[in-house]
Amino acid sequence: MMRRSLGRKRGCSLLMVVLTALTVALSGCSSDKAGDSANGSESTGASTEAVTSSADSNAASSEDLSKLIVGIPQDIDALDPHYAEGAGTREVLFNIFEGLVKADENGNLNPAVASDYTISDDSTVYTFTLRDGIKFHDGSLVTVEDIKYSLDRVRGADSGEPLIKQFSKVDSVNVVDDSHVEVVLKEADSDFLTQLTVAIIPAANENPDTNPIGTGPYKYVSNSPMENFVVTRFDEYWGEKAYIQDVVFKIESDSNRIVSDLENGTIDMMARLTSTQVSQLSDQFDVYEGTMNLVQALYLNNAVEPFNDVRVRQALCYAINPQEIMDFVSDGAGVEVGSAMYPAFTKYYMEELNDVYNPDVQKAKDLLAEAGYPDGFEFTITVPSNYTQHVDTAQVISEELKEIGVTANIQEIEWNSWVDDVYTGRQFEATVVGVDATTLAASAMLSRYVSDSSKNFVNFSSADYDAAYASAQATNDDAEKTKYYKECETILANEAASVYIQDMPEYVVLNKKFTGYVFYPLYVQDIAKIRPAQ
């Protein structure tokens, strides 16, 4: 008996040691992952996923057309626009804050807080004229000091640590007179205007993280985490005022409830639904079909065999039929792309590149034979498992490639591992994913193909491309810049940097009581344009 009880005691302490070790090891793992996902999410994909949790259902009957309830998939992560990370937060804050310039639905940058601007010939000095009489939500007038304060805050003038990386280019922000501010850059950048959509906030506001004050068409009312985010119309807005008086952004974290919440009137609008969800809705809704503004492609690692041979890459382009993929995955919805540019960039998108490779099995086989793979080869497509559309696309590709004797195995991996292994580590042969743009500059899509770019995860390397891209960056003439960017796109298509497929379809559902939804080439929801149907 003595021995037994002694044994039990030792057993317990051993167990304690094992468990402690395990806890430490596991918690170590998870914190690593969190960091990685943060830096991966800025560059890739547009998520329709939602995390499960309880959501409040204060089902307001929306006969009152002065109120609109919009479903959003996740919480607002920060009320301070300069610290807001998530695309889901930025799309809501778009209604509250404005920058010196503001994007419109056609992808143009229009003056907002500034009424006019001039750019010096060498693209280093941007001078803005403050809009006359423009007011913040608290009723105070916007001053040039507020502009300087906001821009200095973003570029981290005090801390030396810019909140937005691109603002490290700013040398100084100077107040010229009562109505003019100039932004001086360290180096020429003719695309810098796209960055100046960053929010202008009042210098006098001491609590920008709890009391957001901007100049947009809607002003902040309240924020209840996991519940809703409420805004109301700003009646002293400088531009065209919003139609709807009160707007509630309701957190719809359980994607399985979206359809029933729409049907019973708990929400009036929801963006980024799947075609399956849309097909379950009754006819009291208008469905707006747009695109997600990204380039979905079978991204090939240009540095590994056999994809280091341009003929192999071209063969895959001939074998893979984007239209067939769209037919299978989204019932034909989606817009074909032939290069790394999606159609919302109307100025740069080249529709003719879709026809560089028309489906041609024989030509694909010939190219493979020429490259030394007459009997095909085998490779693995690594797909992030949380994106059903990408996994489905990979399945169709795998089936199409059988025609030319190429075996494509599919390996699903979890999103954080995808960011680590594929995107950052570049340890992959091929992957299906969507790449989007964070600003309205063409460089947001094209800079990643420059040979030494840190975002060049496909390891594309072409001297011609680098030269064309550098020329585009160097010139200040818009027409010439566009010409060079188009040359870049053409090189990507001809060199078959990857197999470009489509800009994926997106569905926005709006109750028929309302109308006027517009798609933007960026990840935003412009509520000010929505109005009662009658």
Identify the residue among 398, 424, 459, 461 touching another protein (CB under 8 A): 398
Cβ proximity to another protein: between 80 and 420 the closer is 420
Least distance (Å) between residue 385 CB and another protein: 5
The reply on whether position 274 binds another protein by CB under 8 A is yes
**The pair of three-digit structure tokens given for residue 142, joined into one six-digit string:** 């916007």
CA distances from 278 to 71, 273, 275, 376, 509 (A): 15, 7, 5, 40, 8
Nearest to 301 by CA among 460, 494, 490: 460
**Residue 419 CB-density burial (10 A; 0-12 exposed, 13-18 middle, 19+ buried):** buried
Amino acid at 445: M
Q: Do the Cβ atoms of 449 and 498 come closer than 8 Å?
A: no
In this chain, which stretch among 90-98, 321-329, 468-476, 519-527 interacts with another protein, using CB under 8 A?
Answer: 321-329
Least distance (Å) between residue 45 CB and another protein: 16
Cβ proximity to another protein: between 6 and 34 the closer is 6
In this chain, which stretch among 52-60, 99-107, 275-283, 293-301 interacts with another protein, using CB under 8 A?
Answer: 275-283
Q: In whole angstroms, what is the distance from residue 514 CA to residue 171 CA? A: 46
Identify the residue among 413, 450, 492, 497 touching another protein (CB under 8 A): 413
The reply on whether position 394 binds another protein by CB under 8 A is yes
Sign of CA dihedral 165, 169, 174, 179: negative
Q: In whole angstroms, what is the distance from residue 182 CA to residue 116 CA? A: 12
Q: Do the Cβ atoms of 392 and 329 come closer than 8 Å?
A: yes
DSSP reduced 3-state for 486: helix
Identify the residue among 57, 276, 407, 451 touching another protein (CB under 8 A): 276
Identify the residue among 378, 414, 464, 477 touching another protein (CB under 8 A): 414
List Cβ neighbours of 165 (8 Å cut-off, separation of 6 or more): none
Q: Are strands 246-251 and 228-233 parallel, antiparallel or unpaired?
A: antiparallel
How many CB atoms are closer than 10 A to CB 395? 18
The reply on whether position 456 binds another protein by CB under 8 A is no
Cβ proximity to another protein: between 7 and 133 the closer is 7
Cβ proximity to another protein: between 248 and 499 the closer is 499
Q: Do the Cβ atoms of 124 and 111 come closer than 8 Å?
A: no
How many CB atoms are closer than 10 A to CB 385? 15
Q: In whole angstroms, what is the distance from residue 418 CA to residue 106 CA? A: 33
Q: In whole angstroms, what is the distance from residue 328 CA to residue 343 CA? A: 21
The reply on whether position 52 binds another protein by CB under 8 A is no
The reply on whether position 246 binds another protein by CB under 8 A is no
Q: In whole angstroms, what is the distance from residue 375 CA to residue 387 CA? A: 32
Cβ proximity to another protein: between 380 and 515 the closer is 380
Identify the residue among 20, 39, 207, 409 touching another protein (CB under 8 A): 409
Least distance (Å) between residue 149 CB and another protein: 45
The reply on whether position 19 binds another protein by CB under 8 A is yes
In this chain, which stretch among 210-218, 396-404, 434-442, 493-501 interacts with another protein, using CB under 8 A?
Answer: 396-404
Cβ proximity to another protein: between 162 and 359 the closer is 359
The reply on whether position 165 binds another protein by CB under 8 A is no
Q: CB under 8 Å, gap of 24 or more: what pairs does 348-353 form? A: 348/442, 348/482, 348/485, 348/486, 348/489, 350/486, 350/489, 350/490, 353/489, 353/490, 353/493
Identify the residue among 89, 253, 296, 395 touching another protein (CB under 8 A): 395
The reply on whether position 324 binds another protein by CB under 8 A is yes
Whether the bond between 306 and the residue before it is cis, its omega within 30 degrees of 0, is yes
Q: In whole angstroms, what is the distance from residue 211 CA to residue 231 CA? A: 12
**The pair of three-digit structure tokens given for residue 217, joined into one six-digit string:** 């068409």
Cβ proximity to another protein: between 170 and 329 the closer is 329
**The pair of three-digit structure tokens given for residue 138, joined into one six-digit string:** 């608290």
The reply on whether position 15 binds another protein by CB under 8 A is yes
Cβ proximity to another protein: between 309 and 392 the closer is 392
Identify the residue among 36, 412, 453, 483 touching another protein (CB under 8 A): 412
The reply on whether position 34 binds another protein by CB under 8 A is no
Identify the residue among 1, 2, 3, 177 touching another protein (CB under 8 A): 3
Nearest to 486 by CA among 504, 465, 503: 465
The reply on whether position 319 binds another protein by CB under 8 A is no
In this chain, which stretch among 119-127, 234-242, 285-293, 320-328 interacts with another protein, using CB under 8 A?
Answer: 320-328
Least distance (Å) between residue 356 CB and another protein: 24
User: Interaction with another protein in 330-389: which residues (CB under 8 A)?
Assistant: 385-386
Cβ proximity to another protein: between 106 and 276 the closer is 276
The reply on whether position 1 binds another protein by CB under 8 A is no
Identify the residue among 417, 453, 475, 482 touching another protein (CB under 8 A): 417
Least distance (Å) between residue 381 CB and another protein: 10
**Which residues of this protein are in contact with another protein, per CB under 8 A?**
3-4, 6-8, 10-12, 14-15, 18-19, 26, 29, 274, 276, 279-280, 324, 327-328, 385-386, 391-392, 394-396, 398-399, 409-414, 417
